[in-house]
Homo-oligomer: A and B are copies of this chain.
């Protein structure tokens, strides 16, 4: 089995993307290859035009009595952390063809950190039976 860390990113809020990026950066720093598939709202968040906006917070932040990020959500540096992960090690980011189609997004409108587009089979072949984390 491959020791690659395979991440399926589905969610598009700043807090969850930050959790994902932290995991990717940690694994990259420890020498594990990282293989990422962007689906639905995570894919949507990687559009260049959205990077300067706040991506919002998970529903859990709305609960009674929940803390709120003290520095505000714009200060959650999820994309900076992904860029750092890419510098630290081997990380490939694939835009899911099916999600591009459902959301009506052209791959050319995504941030250049995205390497290419492809389907679930492409992702699973690269995963090579290694573990998959869905975020």
Q: Is A112 an interface residue (CB 8 A)?
A: no
Partner of A58, one of B11, B54, B132: B11
Contact B50 A65, beta carbon cutoff 8 Å:
yes
0/1 interface trace, chain A 97-135, chain B, CB 8 Å (1 if under): 010001111000000000000001101110001011111
Residues of B within 8 A of A63 (CB): 12-13, 41, 55-56
Give A30 to B64 CA distance when docked, in angstroms.
36
Contact A39 B60, beta carbon cutoff 8 Å:
no
- Give how many copies assemble into the complex: 3
0/1 interface trace, chain A 16-56, chain B, CB 8 Å (1 if under): 10010011011101101000000111001001011001111
Question: Which A residues from 57 to 76 make CB contacts under 8 A with B?
Answer: 58-71, 76
Residues of B within 8 A of A68 (CB): 103
Q: Is A8 an interface residue (CB 8 A)?
A: yes
Q: Could you say which of A16, A41, A125 has the most chain B C-beta atoms within 10 Å of its C-beta?
A: A41
Interface residues, chain A, with chain B CB atoms under 8 Å away? 1, 3, 5, 8, 10-13, 15-16, 19, 22-23, 25-27, 29-30, 32, 39-41, 44, 47, 49-50, 53-56, 58-71, 76, 98, 102-105, 120-121, 123-125, 129, 131-135
List 14 additional A-B contacts (Cβ < 8 Å) besides A70-B104, A132-B133. Answer: A10-B58, A12-B66, A15-B40, A19-B40, A23-B132, A26-B123, A29-B121, A49-B65, A50-B65, A55-B63, A56-B63, A69-B102, A70-B102, A133-B134
